[in-house]
């Protein structure tokens, strides 16, 4: 691993025509589009700039440098849902599985109708989607997708369930199978900087500076906690669903902000096979079950030792023995579209957001059904034991054990996580109560926009990165006008 370089200290005062807060997919696309159109852009990021390949994916060093709170932040509610946020240049695009799903046209059209989003839908976003797929090298995995994917595909076929090998934001040069992740630090951020945009990492924006109906900049702190004032003519907040809502609410912008958080809750299980199933060099296996989308997705997760240990927490006394033969273990997930909504609040004298999310009975029932289907799939794929996500529950070894697993999940006893968060500043019509208009401009302010996952008015049911990029590109083009 290359040595860490000493981070540059931010000056106490920065000036910009356009301030973009947050460098994840929404912020990177916004900065790139505006800079390439000739605008003077300052892109600020709370985390560090950690290039692709500088850390081993999912290692402790990787999670310390790229993930907020080391990878898992708890929300509050009757069932605790832990969620994931990126905290580095490039945001979540640097830490996720890089799986690509184009926006679902029927979902986009439904949003347009339900939330009164003008000039929106599958037809409108089509050219943006085409550009993103080309510019970010969206590609299928070359050759065999790996042992885990092949086993799941065979198991799904035996059950009559359709499966698919999902494309990724990944570039292959034709000779190396592994290729290279095409995250924001490999794509839109270098383009933005080449067009003249300035990138300042290690700078945490606390709140916006408002004068009447206009923002004149923001107040931030550097790595050492020193105050930094940023002056700007336009402000675009792209910190992600939690951080964007937190910044706005700290700034006194609260109407409709942070009240409608949506997530895709999931359970993960470790499964034991008789032979090799785990190939860390491949990364996250790309196979997913299509039969129940978008309401429910079943697939493979990361299988590094750290992740295996995390999801073996409910294993019996042979946990160390299982880890010693890690190549026979894989991690798999079941993810659902929840109807529940949560909220984001700022708490005085507390640096982090307070996030609450309450899974309802219908959500837990759907998650229980997903757990049942995942266990059925894994047994059909050759698993001899499935470590339960319900602490203290015996492993699932046959179809007869599955009802107890489902009951435990439905009772809210399983470990539940979420990696996709949205909808804290939904876009749409004022009549629908949306704080942002159809292009992300905040109502009541003349020069403040939001352009990230916060705008999605509901969960898309899929990995949202492609959807976020397409909407951000559309909105940034509108800002040019």
First to last CA, the chain: 45
Return the number of other C-beta atoms located less than 10 Å from residue 218's C-beta: 25
| CB of 164 closer than 8 Å to CB of 216 | no
**3-state SS of the chain: helix, strand, coil percent to 5?**
30, 25, 45
Q: Which residue has the tokens 């049942």?
A: 372
Report the alpha-carbon distance of residue 459 to residue 423 in Å, rounded.
7
For residue 110, with 0-12 CB atoms within 10 Å meaning exposed, 13-18 middle and 19 or more buried, which class applies?
A: middle
**Can you spell out the DSSP letters for 201-222?**
-S-EEEEEEEETTEEEEEEEE-
49 in catalytic set: no
Report the alpha-carbon distance of residue 73 to residue 96 in Å, rounded.
16
Tokens of 397: 């070894």
Does 162 sit behind a cis peptide bond, omega within 30 degrees of 0 on the bond before it? Answer: no
Task: Choose, from 49, 128, 420, 422, the residue flagged as catalytic.
Answer: 420
| CB of 343 closer than 8 Å to CB of 301 | no
- Helices H / strands E in the chain, number of each: 12, 21
Report the alpha-carbon distance of residue 46 to residue 348 in Å, rounded.
20
Report the alpha-carbon distance of residue 376 to residue 55 in Å, rounded.
36
Q: Which residues does the annotation mark as catalytic?
A: 420
């Amino acid at each position: 691993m290359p040595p860490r370089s000493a981070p540059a200290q931010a000056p106490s005062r920065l000036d910009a025509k356009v301030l973009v807060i947050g460098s994840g997919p929404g912020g990177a696309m916004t900065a790139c589009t505006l800079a390439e159109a000739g605008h003077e852009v300052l892109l600020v990021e709370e985390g560090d700039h950690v290039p692709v390949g500088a850390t081993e994916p999912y290692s402790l060093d990787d999670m310390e440098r790229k993930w907020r709170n080391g990878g898992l932040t708890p929300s509050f509610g009757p069932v605790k849902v832990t969620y994931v946020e990126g905290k580095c240049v490039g945001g979540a695009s640097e830490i996720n599985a890089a799986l690509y799903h184009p926006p679902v046209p029927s979902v986009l059209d439904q949003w347009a109708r339900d939330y009164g989003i003008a000039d929106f839908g599958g037809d409108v976003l089509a050219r943006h989607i085409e550009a993103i797929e080309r510019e970010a090298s969206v590609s299928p995995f070359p050759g065999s997708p790996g042992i885990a994917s092949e086993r799941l595909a065979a198991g799904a076929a035996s059950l009559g369930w359709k499966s698919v090998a999902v494309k990724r934001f990944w570039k292959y040069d034709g000779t190396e199978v592994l290729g290279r992740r095409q995250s924001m630090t490999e794509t839109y951020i270098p383009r933005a900087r080449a067009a003249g945009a300035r990138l300042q990492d290690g700078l945490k924006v606390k709140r916006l500076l408002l004068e009447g109906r206009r923002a004149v900049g923001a107040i931030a702190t550097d790595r050492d906690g020193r105050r930094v004032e940023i002056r700007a003519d336009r402000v675009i907040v792209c910190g992600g669903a939690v951080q964007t809502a937190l910044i706005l609410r700290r700034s006194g912008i609260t109407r409709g902000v942070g009240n409608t958080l949506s997530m895709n809750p999931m359970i993960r299980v470790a499964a034991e096979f008789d032979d090799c199933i785990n190939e860390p060099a491949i990364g996250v296996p790309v196979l997913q079950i299509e039969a129940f989308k978008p309401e429910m997705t079943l697939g493979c997760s990361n299988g590094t030792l750290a992740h295996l240990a995390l999801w073996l927490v409910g294993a019996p006394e042979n946990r160390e023995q299982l880890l010693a033969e890690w190549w026979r273990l894989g991690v798999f997930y079941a993810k659902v579209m929840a109807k529940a909504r949560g909220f984001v609040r700022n708490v005085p004298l507390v640096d982090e957001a307070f996030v609450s999310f309450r899974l309802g009975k219908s959500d837990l029932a759907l998650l229980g059904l997903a757990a049942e289907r995942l266990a059925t799939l894994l047994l059909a794929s050759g698993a001899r034991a499935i470590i339960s996500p319900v602490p203290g529950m015996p492993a699932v070894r046959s179809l007869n054990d599955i009802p107890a697993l489902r009951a435990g999940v439905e009772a809210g006893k399983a470990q539940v996580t979420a990696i996709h968060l949205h909808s804290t500043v939904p876009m749409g019509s004022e009549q629908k109560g949306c704080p942002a208009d159809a292009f992300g401009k905040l109502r009541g302010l003349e020069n403040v926009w939001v352009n990230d996952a916060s705008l999605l008015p509901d969960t898309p049911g899929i990995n949202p990165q492609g959807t976020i990029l397409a909407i951000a590109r559309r909105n940034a083009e509108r800002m040019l006008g």
